[in-house]
Chain A
Amino acid sequence: MPLDPSFVGRSWPATAPYQVGREKIREFATAIGATDAEYHDPEAARAAGYPDVVAPPTFPVVITMAASRQIIADPALGLDYSRVVHGDQRFSYTRPVVAGDTLVCVNSVDDITSRGGHDFITTRTEVSTEGGEPVVTVWSKLVQRGED
Chain B
Amino acid sequence: MTDWLARVGGGVRRWTADVGWSARLFLRLLGLLLPTLRRGRLLADQVHFLGNYSLAIIAVSGLFVGFVLSLQGYYILQRYGSAEALGLMVALSLLRELGPVVAALLFAGRAGTALTAEIGLMKAGEQLSAMEMMAVDPVRRVLAPRFWAGVIAMPLLAAVFSAVGILGGWVVGVLMIGVDSGAFWGQMQSGVDVWSDLGNGVLKSVVFGFTVSFVALLQGYVAQPTPEGVSRATTRTVVMASLAVLGLDFVLTALMFTI
Do A and B associate with each other? no
Residues of B at under 8 Å CB distance from A?
Answer: none
Residues of A at under 8 Å CB distance from B?
Answer: none
